[in-house]
Amino acid sequence: MTDPFKQLHDAMEEFSAERDWDQFHSPKNLAMALTVEAAELQECFQWLTEAQSQELDEKQLTAVRDEIADVQLYLIRLAGKLDVDIEAACWAKMEKNAEKYPAEQVKGSAKKYTSFMSNR
């Protein structure tokens, strides 16, 4: 079995079982923890310009890598509790997005992009 989602899921399940942490891992709590981790990831960028955010130094990148992992791990854990197949959900969502944002209509204009996005 080489599916990375499945492997990470199983490793987290074991990790959590060994610590008796399942009692804290309701979907509600996991969704809260996920948002907190996403905010910590965002914090790495908040005082940087967009250009600076593309040129992180090694120290910044190490922090970012850890936060990306935290978001991913809580997402896998939450999806596991709800029996959601993340990969399948992503492909289904990409199809919806392709219908919602037809390339020929939204291409090239920031105005169109943001007005599309804000009218979702």
Of 68, 75, 89, the residue nearest 32 (C-alpha): 75
Residues 57-96 that bind a second copy (CB under 8 A): 61, 63-66, 68-73, 75, 78-79, 81-82, 84, 86-87, 89-94, 96
Least distance (Å) between residue 31 CB and a second copy: 4
Question: Per CB under 8 A, does 108 bind a second copy?
Answer: yes
Question: Per CB under 8 A, does 119 bind a second copy?
Answer: no
d(CA 115, CA 105): 12
Query: Which one of residues 1, 46, 58, 99 is an interface residue with a second copy (CB under 8 A)?
Result: 46
CB atoms under 10 Å from CB of 10, counted, come to 13
- CB burial of 29-65 (b: ≥16 within 10 Å; e: otherwise) equals ebeebbeebbeebeebeeeeeeeeeeebeeeeeeebe
Least distance (Å) between residue 29 CB and a second copy: 6
Question: Per CB under 8 A, does 13 bind a second copy?
Answer: no
Place of tokens 């190490």: 62
Contact string (CB under 8 A) for a second copy, positions 18-37, x = contact: xxxx-xx-xxxx-xxxxxxx
